[in-house]
A and B are shown apart, each in its own frame.
Chain A
Amino acid sequence: MDAFVVIAVSVVTAIATLILISAGLAVIFGLMRVVNMAHGEFLMVGALTTTSLVLKLHVPWWLAMMAAPFVGGAIGGLMEILLISRIYQRHLVDTLLITFGISLIMFQLAVDIFGTTPPGIETPLGALTVGSYAFPAYTLVLLVSAVVMLLGLYLLFTRTKYGLLARATAQNPAMALALGVPAKRINFITFTLGCALASFGGAVLAPMISVSPSLGQAFVGQAFMTVVIAGPAFITGTLLSAILLGGVSNGLSQGLTTLWGLTGLFAMAIIILRFRPLGVSSSWKRGL
């Protein structure tokens, strides 16, 4: 029984992690069809903001995490205005290359500012014990953050005016524009939101991982796979995709090694794509 609880906690953590690292990417890709190659660097921005605030300014960890999305959002918004908004009309590969270039620039700047191995922060809240097993209580924060993130997104896109306009723009940009939707502003908000979400994800994960400028690279591959497998329904699809991929990879990691977990995640993703090239949610009727 105790062992079961520990395994369950581990699986849930893996799923929550996937959600946290991919939600921002999913929003931008799902609504704008822009592949944000700099997504991993926004995770890194969030994590580094958190560790820096905690270590240098002694801000409480939860407050530091709340600040992270504002930093990431600001950088993302600037990037949208300066570069991305100018090339929406061009081929998809162009936005992909631009964001890729930005990803490299952000990485190198982070190395220049923080060094390759900046100090990390301790995992707050201590440990919970179940029988003879112990796991970090912070795991619950991860889980709650992932749930709040998805629920918040769902409410945002179903209950607000921005949400409605953003979905309309995604479905039929020409029509939305003809109806007077300020597509430019909507795209700006969506992109900024995606970058802010990524930074928040990175911030929440910061105490559990080794925070460094190359953090983005370590996670972005999994984030891309999760989003691709999710398909058009970028909230519920991401949830299902994270459950599938996170479940499989964590199961394999526990049974064998982390190496097998990653390989399993990748193999499973490729096999799903062979039969559902547009993702698991491609045949769902509702688009969220």
Chain B
Amino acid sequence: MTASMHGDDTLARDMALPVAIRSVQARNLTVFIAAVVLLVAAAQFASSTMALKLILWISFSICALSLDFVWGKAGIFSFGQNAVFGLGGYAYAVIALNFFPDSQETVSALLGAGLVGALSSALLGYFLFYGRLSDVYLSIVTLAVTLIIYTVLASTAGPEYHIGEALLGGFNGIPSLPGIAFPALFGIGGTELSIHQLLTFSILFTAAIYFSLHLLVRSRFGLMIEGLRSNELRMELLGYDIRKLKLIAFTIGGLIAGLGGGLFAAWGTFVNPSVFSLAQAATVVVWVMVGGRGSLLGAFIGVLIVQSAADAADLVITEQTPLLVGLLLVGVVMLMPDGIVPTLARWMKVGGHRPRELRARLREQGHAGAAADRRLSVADIAKHFGGVHVLRGITAAFGDHPIHAIIGPNGAGKSTFFNILTGRHRPDHGRVVLNGSDVSRVPTFQRCRQGLGIKMQVPCIFADLTVRENMQLAALISKDAQDIHQTLQRVGLSQRADEVARNLSHGEQQWLEIALLLVQNPSVLLLDEPGAGMSEEDKRQTIALIHSLSSQHTLIVVEHDMEFIRALSAPVLMLHQGIVFRAGTFDELVRDDAVIDAYLGRRSHAA
């Protein structure tokens, strides 16, 4: 795809990759297919015992893969992946026992296991993410869920606990399940697979899951969840609904774990509550820890290392698996918190940041917001925390002038007011109106989609991603995405597009954050102390940047650096004790004794 095809297809140019990288990807695909073929061929020579063990490990790997995705990629630490895995196993058992006698196939049961996994994750995820549980709570709750399912299923021993034909069987679980059997079509299928056929099927099945996940990770959605792990707040400020993103990622993880559980049940032809045990929950985490979170291949390596070690240890002292898993867990966390494989890879200096290929989606070119659409106003805003009335009726309108400044002494209510504008706090009273629509009750991410750009005081960017990927994330969600390259030029970062953002200087990070906003072409830009922590030279550049932006955006700058405010030559709104104390030009304010008194904390002598 060349840039000359469409003058306005600029996103495509920024997102596509050079041909060289594509050929690397083509080679990787060849290697992948060759590896799968080789594995399938080698599998035919495995002994029956070995084949059985491999199938078990493959089903474990699928479970590890799901946690690797959910934790390593999306940053959601869940202790419940083995619970979903177990539910998948039970789903397989229940479906297979009910339908196999008639249909003579269990592929539906395997798919059903995935479906149950996805649905149960979605249900749990809804409560976790829409309740906005923080990460520790999330891990505790997922673990508690696992343990409670264990206790519940273990107490279903009586004959009254059955689903259709399947007796749940309490602690003993459900025995005598049919293995994997394809439906009878074209003369094949209709019988259960032999061990070697099952191994071949498992390899292909896992390869398909792995490859799909790989594609997903390299897609737009993959970039989004990487953004989620890197900086949730910025994702929200770009207009992403992070609850939904997390829910989707968690549900995909559930689907995979459920499929793995189905395969597990088909492997052992039984399923019992021990898959929900604490030891099992820990084991899944250990696989991923050892293999290294975030590398999909690591999931397989982790299972291979840990399970071989467990088997080897079993020869020396039998049935000490929990002890071994516990020691491994403590050892890895204390000594190699990034995981064994990534630590080794770092020593050998392989791997690194790989660019991704994103094809532009066809979008209608938005039109720049008309001047009338660049307004933000508030009416009679009040907010209290406990007994402290921080804001006591603030009315103001921004947009009749391109730049506005908000100042006020410490404790004036500046931050609270800023948070009311962004949507982090809901006002007790009053309205916030953005471009003519009332957004008082609208959450932050939707305000951002409606044309509000928010720049935080401390640079809020995706430090783990490249400058270009930062910009792509901003452009992907925008209805009116601007050219990434041109936007970077505007802030002076076009030479650093492939730099990982954490390597930028403090000032450059501030500009990158502004560029993230600009690429979305917001109508109103909120800047919280844009000059904070900058050198004099950086400040001058920032002020020049703000002036250059003022022709296309309305800017609201909250600042307490008086020189900065003076240089903006903008109307100033001064907050004091929760009200608009003065409004006027900078010069008017500095000549006002009452303003000086407020700043110095003197009792006012101006009547």
- A33, B329: Cβ atoms under 8 Å? no
| Contacting residues, chain A, for B322 (C-beta < 8 A) | 104-105, 107-108
Interface residues of A in 192-218 (CB under 8 A from B): 216-218
| Contacting residues, chain A, for B143 (C-beta < 8 A) | 37, 221, 224
Report if B371 contacts A (CB, 8 A).
no
- A105, B326: Cβ atoms under 8 Å? yes
Report how far A224 CA is from B328 CA in the complex, Å.
Answer: 24
Report how far A108 CA is from B285 CA in the complex, Å.
Answer: 18
Report how far A83 CA is from B334 CA in the complex, Å.
Answer: 8
| Contacting residues, chain A, for B277 (C-beta < 8 A) | 217
Q: Per-residue CB proximity of A262-278 to B under 8 Å, as 1/0?
A: 11011001110111011
Q: Per-residue CB proximity of B139-165 to A under 8 Å, as 1/0?
A: 111011111101110011000000000
Report if B131 contacts A (CB, 8 A).
yes
Report how far A107 CA is from B131 CA in the complex, Å.
Answer: 34
Closest to B137 in A: A228
Closest to A266 in B: B148
Report if A225 contacts B (CB, 8 A).
yes
- A102, B330: Cβ atoms under 8 Å? yes
Report how far A216 CA is from B145 CA in the complex, Å.
Answer: 15
Interface residues of B in 311-353 (CB under 8 A from A): 320-323, 325-330, 333-334, 337
Report if A101 contacts B (CB, 8 A).
yes
Interface residues of A in 99-142 (CB under 8 A from B): 100-105, 107-109, 112
Question: Which of A84-92, A164-172, A180-188 forms contacts with chain B?
Answer: A84-92
Report how far A270 CA is from B137 CA in the complex, Å.
Answer: 11
| Contacting residues, chain B, for A274 (C-beta < 8 A) | 127, 130-131
Report if B278 contacts A (CB, 8 A).
yes
Report if B22 contacts A (CB, 8 A).
no
| Contacting residues, chain B, for A273 (C-beta < 8 A) | 127-128, 131, 133, 137, 141
**How many Å from the CB of B170 to the closest CB on chain A?**
10
- A259, B156: Cβ atoms under 8 Å? yes
Task: Indicate the member of A93, A98, A104 with the most B CB atoms within 10 Å.
Answer: A104
Q: B130, B144, B279, B337: which contacts A266 (Cβ < 8 A)? A: B144
Count, chain A residues at interface, CB 8 A? 49
Task: Indicate the member of A112, A222, A266 with the most B CB atoms within 10 Å.
Answer: A266
Report how far A285 CA is from B385 CA in the complex, Å.
Answer: 11
Report how far A217 CA is from B326 CA in the complex, Å.
Answer: 15
| Contacting residues, chain A, for B329 (C-beta < 8 A) | 97-98, 100-101, 104
| Contacting residues, chain B, for A240 (C-beta < 8 A) | none
- A101, B326: Cβ atoms under 8 Å? yes
| Contacting residues, chain A, for B601 (C-beta < 8 A) | none
Report if B85 contacts A (CB, 8 A).
no
**How many Å from the CB of A278 to the closest CB on chain B?**
8
Report how far A97 CA is from B335 CA in the complex, Å.
Answer: 13
Are A258 and B326 CB-contacts (below 8 A) given A221-B147, A228-B137? Answer: no
- A104, B279: Cβ atoms under 8 Å? yes
Report if A96 contacts B (CB, 8 A).
yes
Report if A11 contacts B (CB, 8 A).
no
- B136, A33: Cβ atoms under 8 Å? yes
- B131, A217: Cβ atoms under 8 Å? no
Report how far A259 CA is from B321 CA in the complex, Å.
Answer: 29
| Contacting residues, chain B, for A37 (C-beta < 8 A) | 143
Are A217 and B334 CB-contacts (below 8 A) given A102-B326, A266-B145? Answer: no
Report if A14 contacts B (CB, 8 A).
no
| Contacting residues, chain B, for A109 (C-beta < 8 A) | 323
- B333, A228: Cβ atoms under 8 Å? no
- B155, A259: Cβ atoms under 8 Å? yes
Report how far A234 CA is from B131 CA in the complex, Å.
Answer: 21
Given contacts A100-B278, A100-B326, A221-B148, 20 further A-B contacts (CB under 8 A): A35-B136, A35-B140, A37-B143, A83-B334, A96-B136, A101-B282, A103-B326, A105-B330, A108-B326, A112-B320, A217-B147, A221-B143, A224-B147, A225-B148, A228-B137, A262-B148, A271-B127, A273-B131, A277-B133, A277-B137
7 of the cross-chain contacts (CB-CB < 8 Å) are A33-B136, A87-B333, A98-B334, A100-B282, A105-B327, A259-B155, A277-B131
Q: Which residues of A pack against B, CB within 8 Å? A: 33, 35, 37, 40, 83, 86-87, 90, 92-94, 96-98, 100-105, 107-109, 112, 216-218, 220-222, 224-225, 227-228, 258-259, 262-263, 265-266, 269-271, 273-275, 277-278, 285
